[in-house]
Structure 1
């Protein structure tokens, strides 16, 4: 299992609407994400900046599978009214440090 982080940015003034949309994500979207090998996805917000933590088997394979899925395409189109862009073209952020991986 791989854990990775992503960064995206909201359009100005869409913060509350974005959070309302994520109060209950479409159940069919969660189904296709799990089928693509994503076991969990969490999002934190600081102002307009969003930080995503994704746990999956193979991120590149999951993204490729979702790209062709009609449910994910509808979700991405719907969410485009809130999200300005993913930083680094949606590539995972570089990992810097994890406390549990450090030995004394």
Structure 2
């Protein structure tokens, strides 16, 4: 199992943040988005928010390629519509590379039992 941690910011507007949260309630995420995520090789996806900062944790198979997975997901028709909707709430991080949306975070500490 491979784990990725990514980050992105929302626009710092309480109304927009509330709407973004509402779109991500379990009963509000479009079924095609859930099936698309799974079909692209992502086994689990969690998104956390603190203020306007988002953190996404993905778990995948060991041979999963993050770039290829996101490209495959972006090619799905309903995913493109979802991405356009979510882009109204999101803003790129100042240190994101050109064309980079969610930024992969570097793991700097592990604790195992």
TM-score, normalising length from structure 1? 0.87
Q: Give the 3 Å change call, closer, same or farther, for CA 91–46 of structure 1 in structure 2.
A: closer
Alignment coverage as a number of residue pairs: 101
Match of 2:87 among 80, 83, 101: 80
Coordinate RMSD, CA, aligned: 1.6
1:54 and 2:58 equivalent?
yes
Q: 2:8–2:92: 8 Å Cα contact kept in structure 1?
A: yes
For structure 2, which runs of at least 5 residues remain unmatched after alignment? none
- Structure 2: how far apart are the matches of 1:67 and 1:43? 18
- 1:59-81 Cα offsets, whole Å, 9 max, x none, are 22211211211111111001111
As a proportion of its length, which structure holds more helix? 1
- 1:32-87 Cα offsets, whole Å, 9 max, x none, are 11010001111111111011111123122211211211111111001111111256
**Which residue of structure 1 lines up, in the alignment, with residue 19 of structure 2?**
17
- Structure 2: how far apart are the matches of 1:54 and 1:41? 5
